[in-house]
Structure formats: C-alpha cells, structure tokens
Amino acid sequence: MKINLLAIPTILSSLLSISAFPASATEIRCGWLHNPTPANWYLTDKDGQWTIGVQGGYQASGIDNIPQMNEKEYVKTNVGSYGYGCACLEVTVDRNKQRITLINGGEQLPLKNLQGRSKITKKLELTVCSEDFSLQIFRTKFRTTN
C-alpha cells in the first residue's frame, strides 16, 4: 500500500480540528437549578456545576426557556425569588468550559420527591436530585427516550 506523504499533514490537521470542536448534541440534564442572584444561573448535576448565565457576562442561548419555578417547590436562599429547585433541562453543553450553551426547555421537578430524605447532607441532596429517578420522572411525564 502506497501512502502519499504529502497528505499526512492535511489528515493530522483535520483530526486535530475534529477533536478540538466536539460535536454538539442535545441532552437531558437533571439537577439543582440555582438562581442565587440576578442573571446568575447554574445547574449542578452528577457531573458538576454547569454555568448557564453570569451577571454582566456569559448567557446561554435560550435562557428564556428555563422553566418558570413554582415557589412551593423552590428553596429561597436570598431576598426576592432567588434560590434553587430540582429540574431537568434539555440542553446543549460545552464540556470543556463546563457550561450550557443552549436551553431548549425543561421542567421543574417537585421537591416532594425528596421527602423522607431531609436528614441527609447537602452533598447527598444533590445526588438525590440528579440521580436517575429525576430523569425517570422527566421521561415518564414527557414520554421521551433521551
């Protein structure tokens, strides 16, 4: 088999550009949706904290698609409507920057799903919100297979 040595740099360059820009795919992420202060939004799930928006800086496309949070299913942590709740979001992410780049939609999950687990630590509460049962609730409600 004859290899064209002049083609090697082109092939290597193509491979490097492919790995530098991973393909974007929509995925469902479930976890704690935080809005601690104006224009600051984060989703914390089993893979860590994902930046959605930073006041005066980065804002994900489709940020208006964040579900309206029901105050009865939301933990207030600051003056006004700031706090966190459990939610599943349909998103596209940038794994290298650990941020959400596009929000297609989502759904808040009831805190009552966490009742009976109130004596656990905050770290375990994160696990409870983002573990598979949250995704199963979301899938059942919306009949999705993602």
Each residue's pLDDT expressed in tens, for the chain with a length of 146 residues = 565 555 555 544 544 444 444 556 899 998 889 999 999 999 988 888 999 999 999 999 999 999 999 988 888 988 888 999 989 899 999 999 999 999 999 999 887 655 444 443 444 454 556 555 556 656 555 555 55
Q: What is the 3-state secondary structure (H, E, C) of the chain?
A: CCCCHHHHHHHHHHHHHHHHCCCCCCEEEEEEEEECCCCCEEEEECCEEEEEECCCCCECECHHHCCCCCHHHCEECCCCCCEEEEEEEEEEEECCCCEEEEEEEEEEECHHHHCCCCCCCHHHHHHHHHCHHHHHHHHHHHCCCC
- Domain positions in the chain: 23-142
CATH topology of domain 23-142: OB fold (Dihydrolipoamide Acetyltransferase, E2P) (2.40.50)
Q: Which two tokens stand for residue 124?
A: 């375990």
pTM above 0.75, yes or no: no
Distance from C-alpha of 89 to C-alpha of 56, rounded to nearest angstrom: 23
